[in-house]
Amino acid sequence: MSSDFFRAFFMIYIHIPFCKQKCSYCNFHFSTSMQLKEGMIAAMKKEIALRKGELQHKTLRSLYFGGGTPSVLSPDEINGLIDEVLKYFSFEKDIEITLEANPDDLDNNFLKALSKFPVNRLSIGTQSFFDADLKLMNRAHNASEAEGSIKRAQDYGFENLSIDLIYGSPTSGLEVWKENLKRTIALEVPHISSYALTVEPKTALENWIEKGKVSTPKEEEQNSEFYYLSSFLKDHGFDHYEISNFAKPGFYSRHNSAYWKYHEYLGIGPSAHSYNGFDKRSWNVAHNQHYIQKLSSGMLAKEEEILSEKDQFNEMIMIGLRTVWGIDLDQLKTKFSEALIENFNAGIRQKMLDGILITENNHLKIPEEHWFMADGIASDLFMV
């Protein structure tokens, strides 16, 4: 990975809050009704114009359409939003423009039209190549569409592809998981984001488990599948650069890496977050109608907070320890008070003796064999 990849850069995230149907495990902000789609697009364009000064004189290296399901928009609607961003912001020549998409949306007509526009990276919500898993997750696509969508995208020139895969489902097991990974390698996908199936509050999955309709995902099985995932993908040329993310060299996600490197970003759309790269975070209201109403009256639909030293420290610890780069200890000493650093050093001492934490080139890291416990390790070091 070249040093140029790690220099400070700026990005915009656009949240498309619509989905065809609700996945059983999802608690993100979205609506399955498309009634407000036209009003939403107009409101997003208004927000882009109102916030043109927030990344003034800075060129973008990443533009990311997330959701929800951005591929429920037409290619023309997607390109209209890109054009709106270009009215007020400059793009670097090699900007990465990512569209999250579901397999069932990626038919020939959609891909043919999209290939004529600036989108140059697709993040496909595959989740599994097995129908039993997809049915449990209440996905809108089937196993055949999961594989076919990737091949079609490649046929239309989309080489920079990422797919999402979920492991630890009660409908599968290690052998099914191995087959999912074999199919992924056969499809020559250069980036993979993979997550354990998590039971989130107020989801259909939580309800099914409470009623005994579905078994609770087993942590020991998820642990085994996580370490198999890491070993298998590294054997096939992938870098494990963040707990849930794997990439062939040259295909690291700029969008994800911007978060992990504490770069400045601007979030557009309901529930989207923004960060000034230092001490201020803001977030838009997570309500489609309220968002549209606010923007139609010329006002931003956001709240903001100033991050305390404690907030900034805890966030740096949590994010840094999830990555292969770890935490830059020189940056930590420069940014935070001497008393906080002394307390931190006392907190890491025993973990370093136990081998749970290590230092390399003055960066504090969790050895990969302990990555499955990273969130717990990080929380032990939080400033309270």
In the chain the first and final C-alpha atoms are separated, in Å, by 36
What percent of the chain lies above the pLDDT cut of 70? 98
Q: Is residue 292 part of a domain?
A: no
Q: Is residue 166 part of a domain?
A: yes
Residues 241 and 357 in one domain: no
Residues 255 and 341 in one domain: no
Q: Is residue 280 part of a domain?
A: no
Residues 381 and 242 in one domain: no
Tokens (6 digits) for 96? 């990465």
What residue has token string 């809108």?
140
Q: Is residue 269 part of a domain?
A: no
Q: Is residue 274 part of a domain?
A: no
For 57-106, the pLDDT digits (tens) are 789 999 999 999 999 999 999 999 999 999 999 999 999 999 999 999 99
Q: Which CATH number does the domain housing residue 349 bear?
A: 1.10.10.920
Q: Which CATH number does the domain housing residue 140 bear?
A: 3.20.20.70
Last residue of a domain, one of 260, 281, 299: 260
Residues 250 and 324 in one domain: no
DSSP for 275-291 reads E-SSSEEEEE-S-HHHH
3-state SS string for 57-108: CCEEEEEEEEECCHHHCCHHHHHHHHHHHHHHCEEEEEEEEEEEECHHHCCH
User: Average per-residue pLDDT in the chain?
Assistant: 94
Residues 230 and 375 in one domain: no
Mean pLDDT, range 45-63, rounded to an integer: 92
Mean pLDDT, range 283-287, rounded to an integer: 97
Give residues with Cβ within 8 angstroms of 186, minimum separation 6. Answer: none
The count of structural domains within the chain is 2
Residues 161 and 15 in one domain: yes
pTM of the model: 0.94
pLDDT band at 55 (very low <50, low <70, confident <90, very high): confident
Domain that holds residue 18: 3-260
Residues 61 and 171 in one domain: yes
Residues 223 and 345 in one domain: no
Q: Is residue 246 part of a domain?
A: yes
Residues 253 and 321 in one domain: no
For 109-167, the pLDDT digits (tens) are 999 999 999 999 999 999 999 999 999 999 999 999 999 999 999 999 999 999 999 99
Q: Which helix (H) or strand (E) holds 41?
A: helix 37-50
Last residue of a domain, one of 243, 260, 277: 260
Tell the burial category of 204 from Cβ atoms under 10 Å away from its Cβ (0-12, 13-18, 19+): middle
Residues 222 and 132 in one domain: yes
Q: Is residue 291 part of a domain?
A: no
Last residue of a domain, one of 260, 291, 319: 260
Output the furthest CA–CA distance in the chain (Å, rounded).
60
Q: Is residue 296 part of a domain?
A: no
